Structure 1
């Protein structure tokens, strides 16, 4: 049995603006105590300031203790193109498995903890295992809802993913020079931003064109169907 664990979580599944971010972190089981000491918890329970502070501490401890961290940033354009071939759960299965492969290999036989993105948490775990391939058949993969509240490694991955997603939203807002809010369709500031981001010949690159929020705003403004995102030029 391995002495290491891998925790994986995502941030930004539902927003209409910006990327989805998946993070995988691998560390020895004995280093759980370090995560606990620096205050790792579910990222949603932490204030933005506290989350950023713990994020920096995680990166610092990672360098000291040689943990492996991989951050997978899936741009809005890649989400749209991916959704031509698969649903959002299948896209996340791909991103989770890609992230695991960046921090480990099957022969390490690590215990893997997933924050399940499917309503059926067991199915999500089986799907990730199948995507990884037959060599991973002996690995322990535990897939649960709210795993970021149950497992410190997943909590750390949750914090990293959320901070990186927040930084991406800040970058997009600075580039646009107007407020975009959280990027979620439930945010009134975001809805106003979406309306500004669909006035050109094509929707803005940082929008998820396949989201109903974008499609509806486009139709209301242009009185025609939204363009199909092109796989070659990533319009």
Structure 2
């Protein structure tokens, strides 16, 4: 699994996958869809598909694929290597959604929630498989939101396919289990090797599980916060856990045209952050200044 395209610029989404097996271009195929990293406040969400000929589904059962959440990291890695080695019958594709993309999508002017984002990503992956020449006949999906509505939505987009959407599909259908393993392995690798563009030398490197209810993750979010520029791009700043810390620790912002808003009366201008201070900064300047070659001066 070559993740270098995403690691080169982890602020952008990335689509990657295996070559399409020749048999999948000629025989009816089954395809499974699952995701990894929906809940964490840190890191990307990865959507994965895995497909193989309907006639060869028994091979997946022989590999003993299972829901990635029931496996250890070592077991997932081992199973992914077996799936990837079965290049003559199994193909996979991943869509890595950067945390930056997730947050900006959810906070855009027109509401775009995580369910809609997930649905659109799944639809895009099915279409990608079709465009790549995979002879899809059936699709199995782990549900996001009400299963019946999601299934009907997919059937409207792909009336020629047999679509099944069920809760816990990753534990019911081996092809979805395989997709779950691919997605989880990719996310784990990306999170482990995450390259921070921001200078976090004084911040603990251990950020815990990344889930909002993890005390270690909450503490890390507090430490890595820049009072003006917010969080590193590793953080999904649209999550409520991050928003609460932003509201309590970051510099308040006064927007133009809000002078009559009672809630803005005691809010300092953002410019106050740049006022001269005698005390030295506890942390190095944000990369915003380095990239623009800006330095603090005491006189002109």
Question: Taking structure 1 as the reference length, what is the TM-score of the superposition?
Answer: 0.85
Counterpart position of 1:75: 98
Cα offset, 1:200, TM superposition = 4.9
Gaps of 5+ in 2: 1-26, 256-300
Cα offset, 1:110, TM superposition = 1.6
Counterpart position of 2:261: none
2:34–2:49 CA contact under 8 A, matched in 1: yes
Gaps of 5+ in 1: 228-235
Deviations 1:52-100 (A, max 9, x none): 1111111111x232x3311000001111122123111100001101111
Secondary structure at 1:172 match in 2: coil
Cα offset, 1:194, TM superposition = 1.3
2:42–2:210 CA contact under 8 A, matched in 1: yes
Cα offset, 1:31, TM superposition = 2.2
Cα RMSD of the aligned pairs, angstroms, is 2.2
Question: Taking structure 2 as the reference length, what is the TM-score of the superposition?
Answer: 0.67
Deviations 1:23-62 (A, max 9, x none): 011111222222112220011111111111111111111x
Counterpart position of 1:164: 186
Secondary structure at 1:207 match in 2: coil
Whether 2:180 is the aligned partner of 1:154: answer no
Distance 1:223 1:200, change over 3 A: closer
After TM superposition, the structure 1 = structure 2 runs for residues 18-57 of structure 1, keeping only pairs within 5 Å, are: 18-57=43-82
Higher helix share: 1
Structure 1: distance between partners of 2:137 and 2:171: 20
Whether 2:39 is the aligned partner of 1:11: answer no
Whether 2:115 is the aligned partner of 1:89: answer yes
Whether 2:224 is the aligned partner of 1:224: answer no
After TM superposition, the structure 1 = structure 2 runs for residues 135-214 of structure 1, keeping only pairs within 5 Å, are: 136-172=158-194, 178-202=205-229, 203-214=231-242
Whether 2:124 is the aligned partner of 1:98: answer yes
Structure 1: distance between partners of 2:69 and 2:185: 11
2:35–2:46 CA contact under 8 A, matched in 1: yes
1:25–1:103 CA contact under 8 A, matched in 2: no
Distance 1:193 1:159, change over 3 A: same
Structure 2: distance between partners of 1:14 and 1:64: 34
Higher RCO (CA-CA < 8 Å; seq separation 6+): 1
Counterpart position of 2:149: 123
2:67–2:170 CA contact under 8 A, matched in 1: yes
Which of the two has higher C-alpha Rg? 2
2:142–2:167 CA contact under 8 A, matched in 1: yes
2:68–2:180 CA contact under 8 A, matched in 1: yes
1:112 to 139, 150, 165: 139
Structure 2: distance between partners of 1:97 and 1:197: 35
